[in-house]
Structure 1
Amino acid sequence: MQMQTLAEDLGVELFRRRGHRVELTEGGAILYDKAREVLRLWQKTVHQLEGLRLRLQGRLELGASTVPGDYLLPLRLCEFYRLHPDLEVRMQVAPSQEIVQQLAAGRLDLAVVGYKPEEAGLESEVLFRDELVVIVSPDHDLASRKFITIEDLLGNPFLQRIRGSATRQVLDNALEAKGINPSELKVVMELGSSRSLLEAAAQGLGLAVVSSLAAEDCIRQGRLVSKPVSGLDLRRDFWLVLTSAPRSPALAAFIEFLRRSDYLV
């Protein structure tokens, strides 16, 4: 109702109904993008004002799996540090299982990982959503395809993440949901990070499955192409994980900062 009133006030059609679906018009898309810019500016202003009010001190010990640790959290950490320069911040980056173990042992204040831990005493909430894609060299025979089939995935040399990686677990779960044993993959190499997978795939050593976020730069540079996998659900969540221990003012402020960030669900 409010959108309809806004459209009438502006004199521009903002959306169209197609059956049960609602689609943005060109005007609606412009308004949506501008509204996101205003929201980001407002959030940044609030963070800056809070930084003046709160003089946070102490140390934050953070942990993250490779995708959030390499591609998403560094920028947010820089923004947070500029607001609170008296803080000391440390972040470990490792496979999800290792980070969760560190958190459960009390060596970290907070973790961002690629699965929801089931350990007692841990609290989890979805922080942002991601999707895995197949990446191949532009010279690969499959590079011109619109999508990759499960048969393509099983029939070509495959570059795999090491055990303990949430990326690997998501792929394994998706294959098992289709009745396929992950051991049927023709694994030629197991590597410890998304970046190493990207480089090996760019060298034409095989197919790899990585986060779409991790692949963005290499795709933009033309070093890799990404393809969806037909018939496999490779969506996944990244989780903010905390213990039930009392939270310092610095930790509470950082948690709230993450929750307000513009990539959240």
Structure 2
Amino acid sequence: MGLKDFNIDIKQIRSFLEVVNEKSFTNASRNLKISQASISHQIGQVEKMLGVKLINRNSQDFSLTDEGRIFVKFCNKIMKDIDGLKSDIQTGTFGGVINIISSSIPGGYILPEILSGFKKNEKDGVYFKLEIGNSREAVEKIKQGEADIAIVGREIRHPSLTYTKIFEDRIVLVAGRDYTGSVKVTDLRTIPLILRESGSGTKNAAEIYLNQLDIIPSELNIVMECSSPEGIKEGVIRGLGLAFISKLAIEDDVKSGKLRILDIKGLDIKRDFFLVTSNVKSLHEPAGRLVSYILENYKKV
């Protein structure tokens, strides 16, 4: 094969690595949001060009051929070089751009403190780009190399990711100031509830607790689903319903009397927040310094 015949694009490399990481064409297709047939075609094109099989497709268990293992090393090097190029461009402009994706609670109530403390110790100018999504969306951004770090409220395990616990939180049941009743565990199926959307760490923690009480989501009286903690708080304040929400998000509202925490015997929902980084993508220097700062000052044993 001559050099002129060697024609591989980044999409083919990304598809191949995702299949290898997931050990599944189906999961890779879902993560990359392209059809399984397209991924199979892309990898087939590479195999045809190289004249070798990269993946054993006939066995029940996923496995790479010897040539496939060699090609994985090549692909990882290419992606690392691309990350290095992006890093050189970013840090060559000024101090550097750090792309952060965070779920809503840490994005609104934890990261401002972290970023402010980090900025005070930085001599070079550093620019933050902060995107807010739910925990699942944040994890996908890290897997796809679209963000440098993530802060999330649940672990969604993947071999290419590292999770480090950095903060602890509690989920509480809240009502508006005009709500005069009390709530027992047996009332949780009937009281009007405002819940977070699917993929939210807050919702996941609440559902785990409810499952322990043999209460499934379909049994709840859900009046609204909302992706914004602020929207949930306003709904509770206006009397639309009660809500399971992060204690971090309601501290000021409780102090001002707009919201009150309802005590339920046995209600003790704890959840952790995690720093998420990629095992595949190399961090550029400013992002690496931010990660070091977080680990030195916030890492929980």
What TM bracket, shorter-length normalisation?
A: 0.7 to 0.9
Could you tell me which residue of structure 1 aligns to residue 104 of structure 2? 66
> How many angstroms apart in 2 are the aligned matches of 1:264 and 1:140?
37
| 1:211 is the counterpart of 2:249 | no
Query: Could you tell me the TM-score, scaled by structure 2's length?
Result: 0.65
Q: In structure 2, do the counterparts of structure 1 residues 182 and 92 end up closer, same or farther at CA, with 3 Å as the change threshold?
A: same
Q: In structure 2, do the counterparts of structure 1 residues 248 and 228 end up closer, same or farther at CA, with 3 Å as the change threshold?
A: farther
> How many angstroms apart in 2 are the aligned matches of 1:118 and 1:223?
38
SS in 1 for 2:195: strand
Q: How does 1:1-265 map to 2 (within 5 A)?
A: 57-84=95-122, 85-142=124-181, 145=182, 148-244=183-279, 245-261=281-297
SS in 2 for 1:261: helix
Q: Give the % identical residues.
A: 30
How far did 1:260 drift?
3.4
Q: In structure 2, do the counterparts of structure 1 residues 228 and 64 end up closer, same or farther at CA, with 3 Å as the change threshold?
A: farther
> How many angstroms apart in 2 are the aligned matches of 1:263 and 1:139?
40
How far did 1:262 drift?
5.9
- Structure 1: stretches of 5+ with no match in the other structure: 1-55
Amino acid at match of 2:155: K
How far did 1:150 drift?
1.9
How far did 1:263 drift?
8.7
* Structure 1 range deviating more: 76-85 or 232-241: 76-85
Over 4 Å off, 4+ runs:
262-265
SS in 1 for 2:223: strand
Amino acid at match of 2:194: L
SS in 1 for 2:188: helix
> How many angstroms apart in 2 are the aligned matches of 1:263 and 1:248?
21
Structure with max Cα Rg = 2
Alignment check: 8 A CA contact 2:155 2:274 kept:
yes
Number of matched residues? Answer: 206
Higher helix share: 2
Alignment check: 8 A CA contact 1:117 1:124 kept:
no
Could you tell me which residue of structure 1 aligns to residue 82 of structure 2? none
Alignment check: 8 A CA contact 2:172 2:262 kept:
yes
Alignment check: 8 A CA contact 2:167 2:298 kept:
no
SS in 1 for 2:110: helix
Alignment check: 8 A CA contact 2:148 2:287 kept:
yes
Amino acid at match of 2:252: D
Amino acid at match of 1:98: E
SS in 1 for 2:193: strand
